[in-house]
Amino acid sequence: MGHFIRNSLLAGIALVGQCALPLASNAQATPAIAAEDKVGRNGVLKPRAILDRMTFLDNRDWDWYTANVPMLETPDTEIDATYYYRFDMMTKHFVYGSPAHGYSVTEFIDRPAWSGTYGAIIAPVGLQFSDMRWLRDQRITRDYARYWFNVPGALPRAYSNWFGTSMWGLYETWGDKAFIQSILPDMKAQYEGWERERFDTRAQMFVWNGMQDGMETNINSRLTKDWFRGAEGYRPTLNAYMYGDALAISRASALTGDTATAKLYADKATALRDKVQSRLWDPKRQHFFHMFANDERGGIKANSLTYQTGPHAGSPYGRELIGFVPWQFNLPDPKAKIDYAAAWKTVMDPQVFYAPYGPTTVERNDPQFKITPRCCVWSGDSWPYATAQTLEAMANLLNNYDQPYVTKADYLKLLKVFTVTQRHEGKPYIAEAANPDTGAWQIVDGHSEHYFHSSYIDLVVTGLAGLRPRADDVLEINPLFPAEWTYFALDDISYHGHNVSILWDRDGTRYNRGKGLTLIVDGNIAGNSPTLQKLEVAIPAPVPAPPTDAAINFAVNNEGSYFPNFTASFSDPKTALQRLNDGVAWYLNAPPNRWTTEGSPNMSDTLVMNFGAVRPVSSLKLYFLDDGDTLRPPKDYEVEYWKDGTWLKVPASTKYPRQPEGLRPNIVSFAAPVSAEKFRFTFIHNPGSFTGLSEIEAWGHATLPLSAPTAEIDDLAFNPGNQEYPRASASYTSNFDKVEEVNDGKVFFSSNSRNRWTAFESPNETDWVQLDFGEEKTIGRVDQYIFGDGAGIRSPLGYSLIFWNGLEWKPMEIVSMTPDQPTQGTVNSVQVRPVKTPKIRVIFKHDSPGRTGLTELMVFEK
């Protein structure tokens, strides 16, 4: 039992409040802290001192962490390091999609072919929101919440998910009634879509296969004809998700006074709970299981649970981690006569789920248990997604159920397992799947590194620290860390718009805020207990978040359009200019997201950003690379803008930081907006090194939709798709691709580009692409944006250029080639001696067995 504190002092609890909490006579407000002490808002921890110890962080923008991240300090340095890494990792997935739609968030770092617009995938959205809700600046989280039903191609039901529940989770954290009311129509639209597409009226449950749970090649799917996807079934996952979503809609509707809808969805939730408990629970094995919807091969019968029928009929095994998911949504009835919590007897058992780098997705003695060296076989491998779900469910079990099977010590033990699993080469890291016995990650290069498909921050905040979000004006804390720890601090967490700090100081000497457990709200001590226990304190009504700045990034280009674009005096041929405005910044060398001047013979180089139309820019952000050796921030840089045919220096601008720094944004602010079509950057290289960037942003305010670019397009090959000429053709085009996309002005280098021509499956050793201009043009340069996917599509061994002279094809005289060998993932620029011709061809010699691909072919007069 915890203590609830409102207007009185309870035994052992000191209370200091504000607003609704009147100050007691012996109360002391937290003293103001001088700015030079560099402590947080509640005056406890020094963020920069903590961050300086995190030497592994790739994003070293301490200003961002200090402004957004609740500071954590525990005796366990591994937990601390992983906590801060997860914020760093998160930033690698923040994608500014477009001025019209703002931010989205990716799951994979490479935006695969099965992702939606801007690379988002719905499967991990609930866990992503769980972690993102603790960011102080809510813009990205709010944009992402609205993304799913406002951006064409967002695919909100491509995989099972708990969108509605996560929206309610944002409300419980923020206390923003206007937000939940505005997003409620999307929550309803999502649920109604699931009912249309996946609700089985006979079973009165939702039905789907394992792959659409993100859980391909599981022990149930491997028993069916489609071993990868599996056959349809009633799963504890999707049905628990829908239970949570129905409750979220009911509660959100009640806030608006819509009692009819609130009751409708509460009844839906109750009906689902009854079905999950009565149909998916096996009292013999004491676990929730997948139930097959239809008869399958090998004697599997419809409406039977895993291993009740079929090749392994009667097996006492078959348990999967998904059997714990109902507790993630508090679905099992705590008052039920059946002891559902008995399922948890197995979670810490090394003979069942527990493993040094687990838990395993399937119990250890299962007849189909399998650990694989390459992702993904969810029949035993350690899966961060499922581990996060299990830990969240365990925290709910410990907080909301009376049971003897799992303890607080178990939570910390499993959290620590998850913590140390997130390591690679001695540094914090996460990918898609790990060996549960060795911790070795099953890494798909350029795809699964720093995988945002699980939560961790929320497991620390709501589990370890014990901040239990709720909809009323009560701050509930029930820590799961051990009383043996001498200290613990979670400082300056934004909750209902208040600054909250949770401190455990066993002897009172570390933080000087009193012995034991102390809660600080907006600089005042709101509660204290000398022992580690549950505390509940009343807090003032939620404080609305400050209005989100509606600034627009004019530089971004995720549509692959001709504008905005960049040109440079020199580019490392291994790096693409298109990386500079793809809406995301990170500094890793592998996988890279960068443009550099490496190899430049110049002491300085220039970079021109062209919007194609005049835009009112208020500030610029330059994300410089710094590997401490070859690539370093420039010694200095200058910014100019284009006006009336000349370059002018920007008046009254300030740089922050004054000297260029890498691994963080360098901000150039203008005293007044500068309206310009183009900006030019001149980088003065540091001696012995080259300049590189991950991203450039140009921020300002304008009315949406933005006016279309009006600048002339000098690409002679460009055809937006509504003109007869220029016309593209090819000797062979893969059935998966379109030759018309080779000159539509769109450049995409993603390994799963959806805008390209390829000769995939061509029977020829050489193939050509032709451009017919419909009239004679002067050709001086041909730029090939060679595409490769690391598999069947790769750079050609070589290429040649020919032109039509009216009678026959003749070779072009090549003056220079950059790079000197065909290179995928960048522009291959060929300068030729100018010729006049109505059409040209590029002939590729394939690197067999691979075949050549282009995402774009551009032609210029010079």
- Cα–Cα distances (Å) from 96 to 147, 552, 558, 564, in that order, read 11, 10, 9, 14
Q: Which 3 state secondary structure label does DSSP give 695?
A: strand
Determine if the peptide bond prior to 564 is cis (ω within 30°): yes
Question: How many other CB atoms sit within 10 Å of the CB of residue 775?
Answer: 9
Eight-class DSSP state of 778:
E
Q: Which 3 state secondary structure label does DSSP give 198?
A: helix
**Span 343-400, pLDDT tens digits:** 999 999 999 999 999 999 999 999 999 999 988 899 999 999 999 999 999 999 999 9
Cα–chain center distance at 767: 39
Eight-class DSSP state of 709:
P
Single out the residue of 408, 404, 414, 387 nearest to residue 465, CA to CA: 408
**Span 555-586, pLDDT tens digits:** 999 998 999 999 999 999 889 999 999 999 99
Q: Which 3 state secondary structure label does DSSP give 242?
A: helix
Single out the residue of 248, 253, 247 nearest to residue 268, CA to CA: 247
**In the structure encoding, which two tokens stand for residue 185, read together?**
């129509």
Q: Which region, left, alpha or beta, applies to residue 530 given φ > 0 means left and ψ of -120 to 50 means alpha?
A: alpha
pLDDT band at 751 (very low <50, low <70, confident <90, very high): low
Q: Which 3 state secondary structure label does DSSP give 128?
A: helix
For residues 703 and 222, what is the distance between their CA atoms, to the nearest angstrom? 53
H or E stretch covering 536: strand 535-538
In terms of DSSP bridges, do strands 199-200 and 692-700 run parallel, antiparallel, or are they unpaired? unpaired
| DSSP track, 2-57 | -EEESSS--TT-B----TTSPPPTT--BPPP--GGG---TTSS--HHHHHHT-TT-
Single out the residue of 126, 212, 206, 124 nearest to residue 165, CA to CA: 126
Q: Which amino acid is at 569?
A: S
For residues 253 and 810, what is the distance between their CA atoms, to the nearest angstrom? 72
Specify the pLDDT at position 145.
Answer: 98
- Cα–Cα distances (Å) from 113 to 108, 388, 448, 751, in that order, read 11, 26, 14, 8
Residue 688's contacts (CB-CB under 8 Å, 6 or more residues apart) are none
**Span 172-221, pLDDT tens digits:** 999 999 999 999 999 999 999 999 999 999 999 999 999 999 999 999 99
Please say if the pLDDT value at position 13 is more than 80: no
Single out the residue of 324, 315, 93, 353 nearest to residue 220, CA to CA: 315
Specify the pLDDT at position 187.
Answer: 98
Specify the pLDDT at position 280.
Answer: 98
For residues 492 and 461, what is the distance between their CA atoms, to the nearest angstrom? 12
In 206-299, which ranges are continuous DSSP H helix?
236-255, 259-279
For residues 717 and 726, what is the distance between their CA atoms, to the nearest angstrom? 6
For residues 76 and 62, what is the distance between their CA atoms, to the nearest angstrom? 22
**Span 691-701, pLDDT tens digits:** 999 999 999 99
pLDDT > 90 fraction of the chain, expressed in percent and rounded: 90
Question: How many other CB atoms sit within 10 Å of the CB of residue 4?
Answer: 15
Q: Which 3 state secondary structure label does DSSP give 326?
A: helix
Please say if the pLDDT value at position 12 is more than 60: no
Eight-class DSSP state of 644:
T
Specify the pLDDT at position 252.
Answer: 98
For residues 238 and 191, what is the distance between their CA atoms, to the nearest angstrom? 12
**Mean pLDDT rounded to a whole number for the chain:** 94
Q: Cα(first)–Cα(last) distance of the chain, in Å?
A: 78
Specify the pLDDT at position 749.
Answer: 84
Single out the residue of 699, 704, 694, 637 nearest to residue 663, CA to CA: 694
For residues 855 and 750, what is the distance between their CA atoms, to the nearest angstrom? 10
Please say if the pLDDT value at position 712 is more than 80: yes
Cα dihedral 174, 133, 169, 495 in deg (nearest 10) = -30
For residues 88 and 69, what is the distance between their CA atoms, to the nearest angstrom? 10
670-690: average pLDDT: 97
For residues 80 and 595, what is the distance between their CA atoms, to the nearest angstrom? 33
Sign of the dihedral through C-alpha 549, 554, 555, 559: positive
| DSSP track, 450-499 | T--SS-SHHIIIIIIS-B---SSSEEEE---S-TTSSEEEEEEEEETTEE
Taken as a whole, the chain contains a residue count of 862
**Span 266-307, pLDDT tens digits:** 999 999 999 999 999 999 999 999 999 999 999 999 999 999
Contact, 469 vs 402, CB < 8 A? no
**In the structure encoding, which two tokens stand for residue 7, read together?**
């207007």
For residues 182 and 560, what is the distance between their CA atoms, to the nearest angstrom? 32
Specify the pLDDT at position 39.
Answer: 72
Eight-class DSSP state of 300:
B
444-464: average pLDDT: 95
